[in-house]
Structure 1
Amino acid sequence: MTDMTGLDRRTLLKLGSLLGAGLALPALADNATPGTRGPGRLLIRDATVLSMDPGIGDLEGADVLIDDGAIKAVGKQLQGNGAAELDATGMILIPGLVDGHWHLWNSLLRSSAPKPGGPPFFKSQLASSKRFTPALTALGVRLGLAEAINAGITTVNSWAHNLRGPAFAQAELQALRDSGLRARLWYGYAQDLPATAAMDFKDIERVQAQLRSPDYRRLDLGLAIRGPERTEASLWQDEFAYAKARHLPVSTHIAVSRQMQQKRAVQQLAERGLLTPSVQLVHATHADADDIRSISISGASVCITPLTEMRVGYGLAPVAALHEARIPVSLGIDTLVLSGNANPYMLMQTALNLAIGMTGDEQRMSARDVLHWATQGAADAMGLGEQIGSISPGKRADLVLIDSRRLGLFPVADPVASVVQSATPADVDTVIADGRVIKRAGKMLGLDVAALAVEAKAGLRELRQ
């Protein structure tokens, strides 16, 4: 790795060994205890299964058989034929959660949100971004990924908007690969890149070629652009054309504030025919009726991040309007700087409450609607809906067990509502990513959290020097 400053190479390698080992996904061996290495089979017994598959529905006291990383069967009293068994009595099984938008790189700056009298968010972030190194970037990504696993997020969208050179991109890429999670690297730009300067197309091509390797089979690539609100038309049109030529999806922040909405960015894209199903629009807090209509017609998706949108002053996500227009929606943590931690359950609950609170109609949306956005809906928006998003035979085994026997969850009158309105990351008992158990009995497998805390503290100190 080149262009490294700040933490030295020895420290980076130490971080890699600690966190890479901690986030590696140990496979299940035949007749083995969950968490041991080697190829194998796993039979989850007696769970309340929320499949998110209309053909399967919800099942009580059901089993799920996993073989070679794939879901083989869903039903009752399945035959394991020598598979390791996991007793899920009293637990709710859901598909692995898909986070649609996350700036993982700045996780070390947790809860450094604006304060009265202090610098505004974007000014403070711009100053901090210049002090990041590839090593600190990797550490921030790994910290966020650890929280993702802890919460039951098995697919992440890493929106990398502080890539200050190829070494930064490689640091993010390596951290994502080592985690074993499914991920999309949205290749972006440096925070202080001039509005007249283009992205590093040459390095994007390098990364795209690298991702063709089987070693990166759980990763793919997208283009994170500044778009019509932050660059001139000639620049962002070139970026869209480049993405189309390279068969890459595009993501951009849009309609984030009243001031930005005056640029009518959604309509600029629509008028040029650039809104397609391969385009993700992030936030859209101030999208109006015309924008909603254009997005709906185009098939483009929207990712909302209600917790951070409120905290940074963007406003309230138009949740009900997006839902009623049948726009593909996903939910995002966005940044630990503003969200404080990675809690996808609070995110789901907040989205549901916004839809109802802003319309005054308590039946406007359901808990199942937002759980869909966090699972199958988000997978569909990524183009991965045939691989993940539901507990269906043939799909990859990305699964989460929530312990409904914990205080704050029982009694369970409606398991879907309990997941959305009652669960927290602390209630996540087991996380399985691509058939490998990475959290069991409430503990992250192989991850030394105390060591991670020491490294994160040192990383934050490095940023503040």
Structure 2
Amino acid sequence: MQVDLVIQARWIIPVEPAGQIFEHSSLVVHDGRIIDLLPAADAAAKYKPRQLEILERHALIPGLVNCHTHAAMSLLRGIADDLQLMDWLQNHIWPAEQKWVGEAFVRDGVDLAIAEMLRCGTTCFNDMYFFPEIAAQQAVQHGIRANIGLIVFDFPTVWAENADAYLAKGLALHEKLRHESLLSLSFAPHAPYTVSDAPLRSLLTYADEMNLTVHMHLHETAHEVEEQRQKTGQTPLQRLRQLGLLTPAFIGVHMTQLAAADIAAYAETGAHIVHCPESNLKLASGFCPVAACLAAGINVALGTDGAASNNDLDMVSEMRTAALLAKAVAGDAGAVSAATALRMATLNGAKALGLDAEIGSLTVGKQADVAAIDLSELETQPLFNPLAQIVYAADRRQVSDVWVAGRQLLKNRQLTTMNLAALNERVAVWQQRLHS
């Protein structure tokens, strides 16, 4: 049988079913989808590929899902380090955005982010930022999968003047993009302290009608929770639950401030959590109790946050940090295993976005979103367990090849849809502007 692509690898770690690692096997891809996973010798006898990739030193994993990004903020990487969240936002980031953010800023920042993400094995990102139409355009141009957030604030910004305008522009963008195969959309109200009840009720109505997820920063800091409690007599979680937002279509990002009762109540709603450990550590925002959330049955995914607060978009590193931090917070070395960390970075992210029927595992019938990691480097020797080695020892520079829907976007560390020299020139111009 003739097929488009066969990838033969030393190991294939499909994530689903859990615990499986296939040795000396092949992934068979046709029309952008996985049609078989079988021993390499059997694949050679059964299939005639138009393209054959033999990766004898590599592990194949599902493409990583970065479930919370502000992609364009890559241009603000390192502009305001070592500060608390509200100081960082109010005195540095928001003024810089007010001065510089526009279509060109977002285009170049998103291109920089896409290049970085592909080079660390990320095949899908969930974005929240201004000019979402530009982020969508660049994602399509470069072939990466993306969930584009239709951002909402109460106050005017460079993209819209009030909550009604954000919603109107978001609805128009949804209509324009809803048939793009690599794109999905969600409503992205920024946070409880920047969006009031009326627009939240409106977007919930639209989200229900259009079957969209809602993606929001929530319980990110103790200050946020206490300020809302003093103003309204409720925590942000209590307020959002009363408004009806906490459903299986809701994604709460950060969630560092959770008591046992909060975890139990959140679990009842079926809502998801995106854990951003490195950003939370850098901003001293607190610790998401990941092990307790997982034990309660909450789906917990991973995100990097923006490069302005991380300061990278490296999901390989994020897996390691998530696993190690969870052990320390829970006081239990088995709290989040390597396998759980990989699942959080792949299938759990896909589930949060409502994409788990299409991506998140190397399962027959799913889209062929795949990353290959070269485990032959000195730093990953000796090798006893390839899955554990990826999470605890590998570096993003060992990601050699990436496919999205069967299309190769990274080949032997070289991007196939982007001119890095030209991108670096554009970034250098922004560095000069932002530094002036």
Give the structure-1-normalised TM-score.
0.85
Structure 1 match to 2:32: 69
Q: How does 1:164-243 map to 2 (within 5 A)?
A: 168-189=131-152, 193=156, 197-199=162-164, 200-213=166-179, 216-243=180-207
> Paired residue for 1:361?
332
Structure 1: 5+ residue runs without aligned partners? 1-29, 31-39
Aligned partner of 2:112 in structure 1 is 143
Per the alignment, residue 308 of structure 2 pairs with: 337
Corresponding residue SS for 2:48? coil
**2:232 aligns to what?**
none
Alignment of 1:1-400 (within 5 A): 41-54=4-17, 57-76=20-39, 77=41, 78=43, 79-115=46-82, 120-122=87-89, 123-130=91-98, 131-160=100-129, 163=130, 168-189=131-152, 193=156, 197-199=162-164, 200-213=166-179, 216-262=180-226, 263=228, 264-400=235-371
Partner residue in 2 for 1:459: 430
Distance 1:343 1:55 in 2: 24
SS of the equivalent of 1:286 reads: coil
Q: Deviations over 1:200-247 (max 9, x none)?
A: 22211211111133xx21101111103433333334233323332333
RMSD: 2.3
Residues 95-151 of structure 1: CA deviation (Å, up to 9, x unaligned)? 111010000011111122334799921021111111211011111011101111101
**% identical aligned pairs:** 27
Q: What one-letter code is carried by the residue in structure 1 that aligns with 2:404? A: A
Distance 1:278 1:157 in 2: 14
CA contact (8 A) 1:99 1:153 kept: yes
Distance across 1 between alignment mates of 2:83 and 2:358: 46
Distance 1:55 1:289 in 2: 28
Task: Provide the TM-score with structure 2 as the length reference.
Answer: 0.91
Check the 8 A contact 1:368/1:416 in 2, yes or no.
yes
Verify the 8 A CA contact 2:61 2:370 in the aligned structure 1.
yes
CA contact under 8 A between 1:302 and 1:327: conserved in structure 2?
yes
Q: CA offset at residue 273 of structure 1?
A: 3.4
Cα deviations by residue, 1:265-305 (Å, 9 ceiling, x for unpaired): 11222234331111000101112222211211111000011
C-alpha distance in 1, partners of 2:236/2:256?
Answer: 13
Alpha-carbon spacing, 1:418–1:118, altered in 2? closer, same or farther (3 Å):
closer
Pair 1:177–1:395, CA change in 2 (3 A): same
Is this contact kept in 2: 1:126–1:191, CA < 8 A? no
Partner secondary structure for residue 22 of structure 2? strand
Greater shift, 52-61 or 360-369, is seen at 52-61
Q: Closer, same or farther in 2 for the Cα pair 1:91/1:240, shift >3 Å?
A: same
Distance 1:133 1:183 in 2: 20
Task: Determine the structure 2 residue equivalent to 1:416.
Answer: 387
Measure the CA separation in 1 of the matches of 2:140 and 2:49: 31
> In 2 relative to 1, CA 274–119 (structure 1 residues): closer, same or farther, beyond 3 Å?
closer
Q: Which has the higher strand share?
A: 2
SS at match of 1:48: strand
| Residues in 1 aligned to 2:330 and 2:382: alpha-carbon distance in whole angstroms | 30
